Every structure is written in structure tokens, then in C-alpha cells.
Amino acid sequence: MTRVPFVAGNWKMNTSKSAAIELARGVAAGAPASSVQVGVAPPFVYLDAVGQAIGGSSVLLGAQDCYFEKNGAFTGEISVEMLKDLGVKFCLTGHSERRHVLKESGELVGRKAAAVYGGGLTLIHCVGEKLEERDANQTLAVCQKQLDELSPSTMHDPDRLVIAYEPVWAIGTGRNATDAQAQEVHAFIRGAIARKWNKDFADRVRIQYGGSMKPENAAGLLARPDVDGGLIGGAALKADSFLAIVMAAR
Ligand code: PEP
């Protein structure tokens, strides 16, 4: 089964408006037109400017978060409809910083995931264990629980469902999972998706690795059979390093 790899940059709460535009232009200028899907997820307030900067290129615009309601009295929140209005094509849910720093519950993450997918966007649903959970041999159980936030009865298009395996201990720490550790969990995730949906569906779902992926370790991770791209934090803040990872995914 050939899956087109998907490499997405999560800019988190970084950049200024001018830096975001410059970074976006750099990514758009160097991104290949085919063989790998490339996306950038800037802060909400720069989505419009970044969308214009990547306009006409193959780079997809993404959001780091959203709220599950369509509109109404939800001060400070952003709906999927609002994201679509700005040309957003994909949205993350369940990033470890939202789960563990912003204290989002699994139930809230699941409602957001349903809203993203139900609204017609591509969903990048993040799963991954904390260090103490890995040490206690709970890695696969944690990933299963976070995958269970997704509902197979409402998600039918495998091309719009992406799972990002992001071990929490690897995010922003400079300590990536080894190629073998990543492959073990990715294979588990694909099996879990096959059990929840079916094998054909699971074979088409992209599973990204995230957690200190950088140009130096990308090729090894991406060479593993179940690693279908990356979700990149720190290394996505410079066009050169991000594009080096993109090229490794081709
Ligand atoms: C992330 O936040 O999704 C991430 C993978 O960050 P980093 O690449 O900096 O570890």
C-alpha cells in the first residue's frame, strides 16, 4: 500500500506576523508539488496572512486547535467553520500540550476531533505516552485509549484521518524515539485502527511521527514502513530544516 507521506509544521505559539509570512513563503518556495504532502499550522491570528503567503503553492494551511461548537457564546474560541472560511484544510486535536498543559480531557479532545472531521477538514489526531507511562509499559494502552476518542461510525474517509504518534517525552526535548521504538508503536496504531475500522481503512491512514524530528534523524524514522511523515515543532520554525525533513519523506 503506498501512502503519500504528510509532513506538517506545528508552529505553536511562535513567530510574529512578518516572521510567519517569511517562513510561509520559504516553505512554499521549496515544497515539492507532489510525492509528499506539506502543511503548516501557524497561530490562529496569522492564519489569514500565512494562507495568502502560501496561496498558489501545494502547501496546506492547518490549525493547531479549534472548538467543537459551530458558533455562539464561547469567548475566545474558534470554530471549524471559521477555520474553513480562512482556507484551513487540516486541524490538530489532542496535542500533548493541549492535553497536559491546557488540561484538555479525552472527552473534549474527542468532541473536537468529531467536529474537525465532521466539518470536512483533515484531522491530525495526536496520541502518545508520557515518560512515566513508557517506563510502566503503558505506552500501547495510552495510545489505544487516545485512539478510542475517535468514532469509526462517523469517520469513513481514511484520507482525511491522520494519526500523529508523539511520545510526550520526545516533544521539544531533543530526545527522539528511536526508529525501532517509533515503528513498534506505529504498527500497533495501524493494527488498532484495523480493529476499530478495518484493514483496508487502516492501510490508507497516514501515521506521522512527532517528537524532536529533525533533518539528522528524519531519514531513519521515515524509512520505517509504518511511519508516513512527521509532525514537526521546533525544526518547522526554519524553512531550511523543515524542507530538509520534507525532502527526506519523498
Ligand atoms: C510537536 O509539538 O508536535 C513536536 C513534535 O515538537 P518538536 O518537534 O519540537 O519536538
For ligand 1, the distance from its centroid to the CA atom of residue 89, given in whole angstroms, is 20
- In percent, the amount of the chain with pLDDT more than 90 equals 99
- What is the residue with the minimal CA distance to atom 3 of ligand 1? 233
Q: pLDDT-based confidence at 2, cuts 50/70/90?
A: confident
**pLDDT(196) > 90:** yes
- Render pLDDT for 118-177 as a digit per residue (tens, 0 to 9): 999 999 999 999 999 999 999 999 999 999 999 999 999 999 999 999 999 999 999 999
Q: Does domain 6-237 have CATH number 3.30.1490.20?
A: no
Total residue length of the chain: 250
Cα 109 to chain centroid distance, Å, stands at 14
- Name the pLDDT band for 236 (thresholds 50, 70, 90): very high
Rounded to the nearest angstrom, the distance between the alpha carbon of 246 and the centre of ligand 1 is 15
* Contact between residue 166 and residue 127 where contact means Cβ atoms under 8 Å apart: yes
Minimum CA distance residue for ligand 1 atom 2:
233
Tabulate helix, strand, coil % of the chain (nearest 5).
45, 15, 40
3-state secondary structure 108-132: HHHHHHHHHHHCCCEEEEEECCCHH
Please give the Cα distance from 210 to 61 (Å, whole number). 18
| pLDDT 10s digits, 74-119 | 999 999 999 999 999 999 999 999 999 999 999 999 999 999 999 9
Exposure b/e, 105-127, CB count within 10 A at least 16 = b: eeebbbbbbbbbbebebbbbbbb
Mean pLDDT lowest among 1-5, 20-24, 74-78, 194-198: 1-5
Domain definitions of the chain by residue range: 6-237
Q: CA-CA distance, 126 to 161, in Å (whole number)?
A: 11
Residues tagged active-site:
95, 166
- Pocket test of ligand 1: the residue of 231, 237, 238, 246 to mutate, having most ligand atoms within 8 Å of its CB, is 231
Q: Is 87 left (phi over 0), alpha (psi -120 to 50) or beta?
A: left
* Ligand 1 closest atom vs CA 170: 10
Model confidence at 222: pLDDT above 90: yes
